[in-house]
Structure 1
Amino acid sequence: MHNNNFKIGVNTEIGTLRKLLVHSPDSGLGKVVPSKAQDWLFEDIVHLDTIRKHEYDYYIKLLMYFLDPAKIKGKLNEIDAEENKRGFFKPNHPAFHNSEHVIEIQNLLADVLADDSIRKKLTAAVCAIEGCTYNLQLKLTNTNPKELAEIFISGSMADDTMIFAPIPNLIFTRDVGTTINNHILLNKPAKKARVRETMLMRYIFFNHPFFAAYRNNILEIPDPTQHFLRPGDEPAFRTTLEGGDVMMVSKNHVLIGVSERTSEEGANEAIRLLFENNVVEKVTVVKIPAKRDYMHLDTVFTQVKRDTWVILHSIAHSPKYNELEPINFLKEPEKLETTTAIQFHKDKPGQPKYFEHVEALLNDISQNDLGSPTPAKIIYSGNNVFPYDSREQWTDSCNLLALKEGVVVGYDRNDKTVEAFKANGFDIVNVKDLVADLESGKVSPETLTDTLILMPSAELSRARGGFHCMSLPILRDDI
């Protein structure tokens, strides 16, 4: 499946989605143990079969109707029959969709592993970071590429023996990199749990024929000079950056969150790379409290339309700063839970622009970057009612994926946020009904407008990420 006309290019969060990278839940997700859940960045353990058959499966079907309808439309009944018989939502099944628009990372990995020299190098690299024996390394080197791709991702051999930890976070493909115009900025993870997936992705981006024309457009963030001479294992000044903290909001403008997972050093290096390579003209850094609840920028707000955003109110408006309050003298300023937005412009070094709050920034993007004639409309998580605002943000009410402008995908459990969407004129549709209507032709992706598509979420939401996290767009239309 190698296509020389393969294009990448993303310059907004909301242009009609044409290609994205996904990873279907693999067996490793079903092997997260409670004692390791937090180390592997999970808050809970999930039921794999439910996720595969009753949740993620709808996501893939929905994406196929929007991005690659020829492979699904008119075939839903036979696909369902096949699934009931054998379950073919797994990448290693011969009847898997193998789309060049809804692109499965495991397949890309199998493609690059088919090259002998790459297979040897990558196996040696994985075995080095996982501390495997030399004999195991030889055995893996001689494994069939499709099977080996699955082993590298799930951590288990074909007979289900675990040989190293799974990488359960790979379903959150957003975090491995971000498409910025026709460049790809690779991540640099903050946690050890994500080191292997980052390396696998690096090999894919640099070696897969899909990305051959873009090899010189892949941006990697280096470690600080001579960091190895500094004391401590995980020093505070490490450059870390995860894709969930990077948003391409308009042709010349990128947002970077400084968060629990992305450091100031990481943001600084990314700005340097983006400006030196003339990728964008301005970068706005949004500093959010480094808390597990917030994790990444895209867990606290995402864009819905040119003039509409969904956000957690406490991030949109930090508590008002009163310099006479004793607490401000008692605590260092950075310990106060505030969110700040600072914009850097390539042509105006040393003259950053400060926004009084995040909402002002979102309004500036809507009106000045995207040409919205009216001020930005803000939809609040949980309809801005305590405690539903923070409860629903925890289950990803602010983490929506736009399939096209105004048509977004989110979880069905965030009832108050759904009410807020309704109040703002959005149609609410359940994915099961929508898939049936797309199949029958009653609805078409082209005519759908201002719609929140609700996805089943009992198990997926335990993994702590929504559909923005579960997608890495690599091609969107201009808006």
Structure 2
Amino acid sequence: MHTNQDIHVSSEVGTLRRLMIHSPDEGIGKVIPTKAQDWLFEDIIHLDTMRKKEYDLYLKILLYFLDYQNIHSRIHTIDLPESQRHFYKPDKEDYFNSDKVIEPQALLSHILEKNDIRSRMIASICAHEGTSYSLQDELMELESSILARTMISGILPDKRMIFPPIPNFIFTRDLGITVNDHILLNKPKKKARTRESIIMKYIFFNHPMFADYTDKVIEITDPEDFFLLDDEEQEQKSVTIEGGDVMMVAPNHLLVGVSERTSIHAASKVVHEMHKRNIVEKVTVVKIPAKRAYMHIDTTFTQVKRNLWVMFGSFSKEGLKKEQGDFIPSLGNFKSENELEILQYVKGENYDHPIRFNYLEDLLNDISLNDLHSTEPTQFIYSGNNKFPHGRREQWTDSCNVLALKEGVVIGYDRNDKTSEGFEKHGMKVVKAADLLQDFAQEKLFPEDIKDTLILLPSAELSRARGGSHCMSMPLKRDYI
């Protein structure tokens, strides 16, 4: 079982050494149309297709790059139909069991072996879900690995469904972000994600893997008098934050989005906490429109190399100017529906006078040149290759949401054709994950051979969940760049 290990992330593109992911579980297969939006899914998912034909490739790519010996020695048996069913989950005999690509269900199973944690956690989750008191006794009798699976999927071994599913648990980034050697926990806005948050809190504060980091786990909470406020005031002063709105872009610099899911009050608390603990020098707040289409800042831009970013064209300098071009100034103040506000707070300086960036490209260029010391001009790939209407269509299916395995090697979705063309225009190779895995299995290529490459995952079902490879990862360790 995973024990205490080094945890440190100081960039978005340093070589990835360890991360947390959650493979799609049986609860996703229980989402029904009338509840899909309540559970934050836009559509119902075909679980077997998502898991075996799409996520399977994501997981194997991660294992090949992060834990080569583990996966390569087993790849031929894993792909046998019988074995494949047992590859994903810790309660199965053929579980991939990596200490580099870590499944929170395995960590949960481990801490549930301790009776005091087991009883407290069962009580917490049952209270949140409003179950009967007698159910707690039934759960106490389950074997730890089965109990962990039940807490996540909501399904007992006899197939009774006792909790709602938490299908968004596959988006592990939202649960916590590694900021240098600290971990910033989430506080989700939507009730559908509260059980995920409870599970991760117990893991971070109780698992031996994080034993040296318990004083470095940061929780952002509501104001002390929050429960005294009326509903309208609570809505205005709520403190909610999700990891898709947090990016560790350089050792001295953290980005925090204000969005549909992360509140202004949460961003303010993060700024103060980061400076008080002396974790980073700069925190830049990027306020985007509070719309479902954008959700988090990592749906609108992510990093590919220290001098290369992929971003949503409507948020670009050109896109915003174009939208304002039809406006007659004498009619009064104009605010674009895609208006951004970008404010940077530097430790020790007056918070009343932050540094203001007019455009997203200006901020990203500043990060590339001044924080990451790029010696090459900063470049931008735009969603849909900036072609109408592909920019908006492909942003919706996570064209801007890529995960860097190392600098210049990222994972994206195959359905975003025009964005892939943009990658090629910037000198990047574009390869299908299945083809790359076949070359790895036959030893025609090795992970260290791969440079300046966009790896494409099949994404017919994954894209329905409204999150890309960046969302589906919580990096725990990256090399310095």
Same fold (TM over 0.5): yes
Q: CA deviation at 1:474?
A: 0.3
Taking the TM superposition and a 5 Å limit, the aligned residue runs for 1:215-364 are 215-232=214-231, 235-317=235-317, 319-320=320-321, 325=329, 328-329=332-333, 336-350=337-351, 351-364=353-366
Contact 1:74 1:439 in 2 (8 A): no
Contact 1:342 1:355 in 2 (8 A): yes
Contact 2:60 2:71 in 1 (8 A): yes
Report the CA distance shift for 1:338/1:85 in structure 2 as closer, same or farther (over 3 A).
closer
Amino acid at match of 1:347: G
Amino acid at match of 1:56: Y
Residue 14 of structure 1 corresponds to: 13
- Distance in 1 of aligned mates of 2:84 and 2:426: 42
- Distance in 1 of aligned mates of 2:228 and 2:369: 47
CA deviations 1:399-441 (Å, max 9, x no partner) are 0000000000000000000111111101111111100111222
State the TM-score, normalized to the length of structure 1. Answer: 0.96
What stretches of structure 1 of length at least 5 have no aligned partner?
none
Amino acid at match of 1:142: E
Does 2:28 align with 1:29? yes
Deviates more, 1:69-78 or 1:407-416: 69-78
Report the CA distance shift for 1:374/1:148 in structure 2 as closer, same or farther (over 3 A).
same
Q: CA deviation at 1:347?
A: 1.9
- Distance in 1 of aligned mates of 2:38 and 2:289: 20
- Distance in 1 of aligned mates of 2:156 and 2:181: 37
Deviates more, 1:203-212 or 1:83-92: 83-92
State the TM-score, normalized to the length of structure 2. Answer: 0.96
Residue 209 of structure 1 corresponds to: 208
Report the CA distance shift for 1:235/1:201 in structure 2 as closer, same or farther (over 3 A).
same
Deviates more, 1:74-83 or 1:319-328: 319-328
What stretches of structure 2 of length at least 5 have no aligned partner?
none
Q: CA deviation at 1:90?
A: 2.9
Q: CA deviation at 1:14?
A: 0.2
CA deviations 1:27-86 (Å, max 9, x no partner) are 110111111111111100100010111011111111111111111114311111264574
Residue 88 of structure 1 corresponds to: 87
- Distance in 1 of aligned mates of 2:151 and 2:461: 24
- Distance in 2 of aligned mates of 1:292 and 1:365: 27
Deviates more, 1:226-235 or 1:59-68: 226-235
Q: How large is the RMSD of aligned CA atoms in angstroms?
A: 1.5
Report the CA distance shift for 1:84/1:117 in structure 2 as closer, same or farther (over 3 A).
closer
- Distance in 2 of aligned mates of 1:215 and 1:85: 36
Q: CA deviation at 1:299?
A: 0.4
Give the alignment partner of residue 462 of structure 1, picking from 456, 461, 464: 464
Taking the TM superposition and a 5 Å limit, the aligned residue runs for 1:50-449 are 50-81=49-80, 83=82, 86-232=85-231, 235-317=235-317, 319-320=320-321, 325=329, 328-329=332-333, 336-350=337-351, 351-449=353-451
Q: CA deviation at 1:19?
A: 0.3
Contact 2:77 2:83 in 1 (8 A): no
Report the CA distance shift for 1:328/1:158 in structure 2 as closer, same or farther (over 3 A).
farther
- Distance in 1 of aligned mates of 2:101 and 2:441: 18
CA deviations 1:257-298 (Å, max 9, x no partner) are 100000000100111111111110000000101100000000
Identity rate of aligned residues, in percent?
54
Contact 1:83 1:89 in 2 (8 A): no
Report the CA distance shift for 1:337/1:88 in structure 2 as closer, same or farther (over 3 A).
closer
Amino acid at match of 1:107: A
Contact 1:8 1:475 in 2 (8 A): yes
- Distance in 2 of aligned mates of 1:109 and 1:281: 34
Q: CA deviation at 1:375?
A: 2.4
